Amino acid sequence: MKKAQFVMVWFLPLVVIGGFFYPILGYFVLLAILFMLILSIFKARFWCWNFCPRGSYLDLGLSKISRNKAMPRIFTKEWFRWTLFAIIMSLFIFQIIRAGGSIKAIGLVFVIMCAVSTIIATILGVAMKHRTWCMICPMGLLQEKIGKIKKHG
């Protein structure tokens, strides 16, 4: 495993657990998204495979208990990934609007988003390959597309 993963993996429980007590910790998710999107201009999905706290958790922990079964082919379909992206982003935007501008409430939206996607990643990772979530991750999809734009642009 990469050394960076041993450091980055600790950000996941910090946000997922600590964020329910201190919602401001959710802003670590926003910082990660911004850094990841900027990095993707130069290195596509480099963040995913090297620095993503959830990916680190999936590699370091979940890989040991994964059933290592093939994931459904639909997970690799472009239309499915974009549909999932649209659904997740719509729910996210709706929750941000509902937060009414409260700094703590917006931080909690990021915490909940991180917690729910980690639960889904864990279920998928145990039932199938440990990094199944990574195939449908909305941020991974964005990184992939930004990286391709830079490559072809």
| Residue carrying the six token digits 């596509």 | 44
The pLDDT value given to residue 149: 84
The pLDDT value given to residue 59: 96
The model carries a pTM of: 0.91
> pLDDT tens across 44-78, in order?
899 998 999 999 999 999 999 999 999 999 999 99
The pLDDT value given to residue 2: 79
Average pLDDT, integer, range 125-142:
96
Q: Is 132 exposed, middle or buried (0-12, 13-18, 19+ CB in 10 A)?
A: buried
108/138 Cα distance (integer angstroms): 19
Half-sphere exposure of 28 (CA within 13 A, CB side): 22
Higher pLDDT, 148 or 94: 94
Q: Does the pLDDT value for residue 150 go beyond 70?
A: no
The pLDDT value given to residue 5: 93
The pLDDT value given to residue 148: 84
Within its chain, how far is the Cα of 76 from the centroid?
A: 17
Triad 51, 6, 61: Cα angle to 5° = 95
How confident is residue 10, by pLDDT bands cut at 50, 70 and 90?
Answer: very high
Tell me the domain boundaries of the chain. Answer: 3-152
Residue (of 96, 72, 76, 64) closest to 141 by Cα position:
76
Average pLDDT, integer, range 102-112:
98
77/66 Cα distance (integer angstroms): 23
Percent of the chain with pLDDT over 70: 97
Q: In a 3-state reduction of DSSP, which class is residue 25?
A: helix
